[in-house]
Amino acid sequence: MGVKKSRSRSRSSARVAAPLILWWCCACAVAAAAMAAAGGGGDEHRYGGAKYKDPSQPLNTRIDDLLRRMTLAEKIGQMSQIERENATADVMRHYFIGSVLSGGGSVPSPKAAPAEWVRMVNEIQRGALSSRLGIPMLYGIDAVHGHNNVYKATIFPHNIGLGCTRDPELVQKIGAAVAHEVRATGIPYVFAPCIAVCRDPRWGRCYESFSEDPKLVQQMTSIISGFQGEIPANGRLGAPFVSGQHNVAACAKHYVGDGGTINGINENNTIATFHELLSIHMPPYYNAIIRGVSTIMVSFSSLNGVKMHANRPFITDFLKTKLRFRGFVISDYEGIDRLTTPQHADYVLSVKLGILAGIDMVMIPYTYTEFIDDLTLLVQNGTIPMSRIDDAVRRILRVKFTMGLFENPYADPSLAGELGKQEHRDLAREAVRKSLVLLKNGKPSDKPLLPLPKKAHGSILVAGSHADDLGSQCGGWTIKWQGLTGNNLTAGTTILDGIKRAVGPAGTDVVYSESPDAGFIERNKARFDYAVVVVGEHPYAETAGDNLNLTIPAPGPAIIRNVCGSIRCVVVLVSGRSLVVEPYLGAVDALVAAWLPGTEGQGVADVLFGDYGFTGKLSTTWFRSVEQLPMNVGDAHYDPMFPFGFGLETQPLKA
């Protein structure tokens, strides 16, 4: 009876509940429809119907949603990258600027601390976010061997030295360290790495290349995984990837063939068959894309007479279509201006050629209003289809969404301590040690000179223009675009400092003479057990470094002759490439290629005095005379002074 009564109550409740449930469902459906019409519910309601603001939405949904909301002016603004000194809040908001850069040496103030950088970047970002759609700007900077614009940053060896380490894992760690230092100043994007394959040391950018060998450059693309983070095992290879707020978006450059120009002349013409291009200059880009590189920068140079900034077959057809690169393509600094002679002579034509070739973001530091006006006209008159604009903006937005810029547009001031921290300097010092290449050690009739004894019977002489010059050992792209000489540009340890620290505990007297003449040597030669002569190139970058004779600059040759003619000596050559050394080779007891070691000169002393052994191997061919150039490993008439891969080794001294 009780059971029946219970069932009766249940049926009665059901009869009452059914209409209520039906009414409630209808009400919910009406409400949901109204919310959808008003712009969404749940998370969608929270973001005002803007799916692009909702991080839970799929990537392509966010891109599509934002793209359909954008006006032509907002799209062209996203394609514009301007110099930071022009990036006022009003400019960012009014022109919807998508990206800002610091050119070489462009800083908020001399010796600016991280906090000042962060304030500047955040102020620019606030201007961008105050625009109608609130699209964050992307701030980019050259960080080609460390955060090289910034005072007290760790400066690592330039790429040519890193190639001599043959250590992709070390290079990846360097990429991660640089990313931390860049983020310390609030910047999320670097114009690095240069993955050029330098085929001629006369090129002024040869030190930016890891090697003349494409396979070695491919290995060194590990630095991209350092910058951006490792793609997870279940991640999509080939898609832009930045793992977190301690990483930065990278930029592989300069696409393509920049290291193969005639006579090594910067921005000149590279003549190559399709097979040569694919086998020499293109392979590093395959690896860069697989590693998820976010952006690729186009080269100033030409390929078989066609300027790369106007080369649609290689930018759109090959890079984007065949290689399926999904990040964005960026021009070089005022790169489209160079499409006419003289530069900027017909800017409308330059804009047309560059955008139709497939360039997505244009580096226009100063002429941004002209660029925006001209591109707008070209779209409105049908010369450039809207589909080309949408492709460019879609790629830019993909990178911004992928790197989390919409969720974290502002800099994190807590990272300030990452700049120049000891852990990074220790890593740079390790890189210096592993990059040194020992080319000669002892004359035929004598025992090897290296490693040097720390305890000398008399004194040791340190000589040369580069022994006590931090700027010269860092080279170009350090604080200023062309670099600087002297010791007041940033924090670091000169090679002389390193030598003094290495022998100090042994009580050895170090005598430094920057440019000793023959009389000084004759009067004092009996005092010295041996000499360390440090000479080389003065800082340069890009075209200013093009050099058709490649001799050791004065006063280097005179110092070598004066010192090494009377005292057992090791010559440490500080340079961005191989130089003519044959005239001095017989006089010197030992010869070390130190490349451009950066701020941690102690790493040179570590190996000279046997705390560590020499292990570096040449990443480029060391020629005998410039008449042989270009000459690369594998050539039919290969007759170098020191072949690719050469490097004598020593064992560390036991304590």
Q: What is the DSSP secondary structure assignment for residue 639, as one 8-state letter? A: -
pLDDT in tens, 637-651: 999 999 999 999 999
Instruction: Report pLDDT digits (tens) over 499-535.
Output: 999 999 999 999 999 999 999 999 999 999 999 999 9
Name residue, tokens 């050099």: 547
Asked whether 474 and 539 are in contact (CB, 8 A), the reply is yes
Residues in the chain, total: 655
The class (CATH top level) of 51-298+402-415 is alpha beta
Burial 383-421 (b: 16+ CB within 10 A, else e): ebeeebbebbbbbbbbbbbbbbbbeebebeeebbebbbe
Using a pLDDT cut of 90, give the percent of the chain over it: 91
What positions carry a catalytic annotation? 332, 542
Query: Counting runs of H as helices and runs of E as strands, what totals does the chain give?
Result: 23, 17
Q: How is the chain split into domains, by residue range?
A: 51-298+402-415, 436-642
616: which residues sit within 8 A by CB, 6+ positions away? 161, 164, 165, 166, 434, 435, 436, 437, 438, 593, 647
Pick the CATH number of 436-642 from 3.40.50.1100, 3.20.20.80, 3.40.50.1700, 3.40.109.10: 3.40.50.1700
For residue 400, give the 3-state DSSP assignment. Answer: helix
* H helix intervals, 187-326: 214-220, 222-228, 274-276, 283-290, 312
Sign of the alpha-carbon dihedral angle for 86, 90, 94, 99: positive
Question: What is the model's pTM?
Answer: 0.93
Given a cut of 80, whether residue 16 has pLDDT beyond it is no
**pLDDT (tens digit, 9 = 90+) per residue, 451-482?**
999 999 999 999 999 999 999 999 999 999 99
Alpha-carbon distance of 604 to 160, in angstroms, equals: 16
Q: Are the C-beta atoms of 97 and 82 separated by less than 8 Å? A: yes
pLDDT tens-digit readout, 37-52? 334 445 656 888 999 9
Reduced to 3 states (helix: H, G, I; strand: E, B; else coil), residue 273 is coil
